[in-house]
Amino acid sequence: METYDYIVVGAGSAGCAVAGRLSEDPANRVLLIEAGGSADHFWVNSPAGMGKLFLEKRLNWSYFTEAGSRIEGRSIYWPRGRMLGGTSSVNGMVYMRGHPRDFDHWESLGNPGWGWNDVLPYFRKSESNTRGASDIHGGDGPLRVSDPIMRSPVIDDYLSAAAGIGIPRINDLNAPPYEGADYHQHTIRDGRRESSYTAFIAPVLNSRRNLTLLTKAQVLRVVIEGNAATGIEVQQDGRRRVISAAREIVLSAGSLNSPQLLMLSGVGDGAKLQAAGIETRAHLPGVGQNLQDHWFAPMIWEVTPGSSYNSRVSGLAKYIEGMKYLLLRKGVLAMSASASAVFLRSSDDLQQPDLQMVLRPLSYTFHPKGAVIVDSFPGVSAGVVLLNPGSRGWVDLASADPLAAPLFQPNYLSDPDDARRTLIGIRKMRRIMGSAPVAARVVNERMPGAAAQSDEDLLHHLKTVGNCGWHQVGTCKMGRDGMAVVDARLRVHGVDRLRVADGAIMPTITAGNTNAPCIMIGEKAADMIRQDAAPRR
């Protein structure tokens, strides 16, 4: 029987941080297991390659949601990384932590130790910010966070136009006052994507004999004996085997697959499990519930030719950019598309921003089956993102077959206030783009188009063309109430020696991109696991 002290399931944003930190102690034998394989591919490493990864099934779970009744019956494509680094190897690399009030709210829900002052040290611990260390940022952590290597004139004008209508230009979106306009920082190191794997695992894998990495191995279930997790069942190369954990098992398979694994292991709503033919080990009706995601309204403007990068990533010019990237790690391919954002409140009555308005110096269209196509005209694109949606959905088993994809119903726009606030954001975005100096670059509004003025028109656009932020969280929420799945130490209620450490544990979604908070969760989880130090069996 293979035995390790700790088994970490999922080499993604949180899992790599957990395994990397636990293996710093040479006395800990750590297994990190990943369903996918290597992430060492050109389009993974090059920051602008994100769109190329959407439909690459070798590297992607390529999920689709159930049809949404409030979004005209649409099924939404959910790409999730299936390789080392997980979704941090396919995301937009935006480094946003969320608002301090997000974490204070978590603590107020019965989760001591998760307030802003508690989690800030873990954000700092993971971070190597090119701006250097400060009270807010870390300077010597494993995860590189950097500023864009190029600044686009249209983005500069966008930020100036926002300032002209009363939205201040600030120096750091991750620092006080947490409201205003600026360029994003990104997880990019010297022109290459910095995933959680390249930050926490790759630099130490060959030097730590106590750290084992197992790839292309899908975990089928957690083995539970009595009320304790003792191991995992794995399928690799068509063969199944059980691997034992002497101390603990940590599920870091992500907000979609961690609840799936719990249910396959008999942890979830007892009635549903029995209906699927699965023996109930722990009745936790909250497993798979509380699903949250960011829904956004896409907008596109045709602009003057010098104001867009579209021509640089198409035709012969894309080969020039390719050579520039291969030789120098510079140019458009070394950048994230999500260049900048405005954070603001839809109402002065709110205590924190609830809108994130991202502008990109190029434009592209998402097609229903997942393709991302750069537009043929010079364009810029925006996403008006509602940061704290009220809508809640669920994840459930399609069957007891562990190799079958789960079912997902996010219930986008089920809370009517979500649409109301997003429409306020669309109008604010139009006001910025219609203001000097960026207005001089605009030729016309392509999406939703100048004819869409009424609430009814804009709501139709939001329902029929709107898309998600791919920020799914909350499905194994942390707390003390009857729907909580883990406690504040991330231990699964009713099952000893089993934790969940990824975005699934968030009681409520953070106000921004979710990769940085997931890495923070991994950092904090590893610290708690080492503090608790379960005895070896």
pLDDT in tens, 101-116: 999 999 999 999 999 9
370 pLDDT higher than 70: no
The pTM (predicted TM-score) of the whole model is 0.96
How is residue 392 written in tokens? 């809640």
The pLDDT confidence band at residue 453, using thresholds 50, 70 and 90, is very high
Fold (topology level) of 2-532: FAD/NAD(P)-binding domain (3.50.50)
510 pLDDT higher than 90: yes
55 pLDDT higher than 90: no
165 pLDDT higher than 80: yes
Catalytic residues: 471
Q: Is 256 in contact with 63 (CB distance < 8 Å)?
A: yes
The pLDDT confidence band at residue 371, using thresholds 50, 70 and 90, is low
Taking residues 84-89, report their average pLDDT.
96
pLDDT at 368: 62
Taking residues 507-534, report their average pLDDT.
97
Give the whole-angstrom CA distance, residue 352 versus residue 276. 43
| Average pLDDT over the chain, rounded to an integer | 95
CA separation (Å) from 408 to 64, 393, 530? 8, 8, 34
The pLDDT confidence band at residue 308, using thresholds 50, 70 and 90, is very high
Cis bond before residue 168 (omega within 30° of 0): no
Which of 162, 163, 132, 161 lies closest to 145 in space, CA to CA? 132
The pLDDT confidence band at residue 328, using thresholds 50, 70 and 90, is confident
Q: Going by C-beta distance under 8 Å and a sequence separation of 6 or more, which residues neighbour residue 524?
A: 119, 122
Bigger pLDDT: 159 vs 312: 159
Taking residues 352-356, report their average pLDDT.
97
Q: Is 120 in contact with 97 (CB distance < 8 Å)?
A: no
CA separation (Å) from 103 to 72, 106, 128, 359? 34, 5, 22, 27
pLDDT at 367: 67
Ordered by start, the domain boundaries in the chain are 2-532
Cis bond before residue 410 (omega within 30° of 0): no
Taking residues 354-359, report their average pLDDT.
97
Q: Which residue's entry shows tokens 């989880």? A: 525
pLDDT at 318: 77
Bigger pLDDT: 520 vs 313: 520
β-bridge pairing 239-251 and 498-500: parallel
Q: What percent of the chain has pLDDT over 90?
A: 88
pLDDT at 369: 63
Give the whole-angstrom CA distance, residue 440 versus residue 454. 25
Which of 163, 281, 158 lies closest to 228 in space, CA to CA? 281
Give the whole-angstrom CA distance, residue 101 versus residue 171. 20
Of the CA atoms within 13 Å of residue 364, those in its CB half-sphere come to 22
Buried b (16+ CB within 10 A) or exposed e, 120-135: bebbbbbbbbeeeeee
Which of 137, 14, 49 lies closest to 514 in space, CA to CA? 14
In 3-state terms, what secondary structure has residue 44?
helix
- Give the amino acid at 526: A
Give the whole-angstrom CA distance, residue 532 versus residue 496. 12
Q: Is 372 in contact with 54 (CB distance < 8 Å)?
A: yes
The pLDDT confidence band at residue 351, using thresholds 50, 70 and 90, is very high
The pLDDT confidence band at residue 326, using thresholds 50, 70 and 90, is confident
pLDDT at 57: 82
360 pLDDT higher than 70: yes
Q: Is 410 in contact with 76 (CB distance < 8 Å)?
A: yes
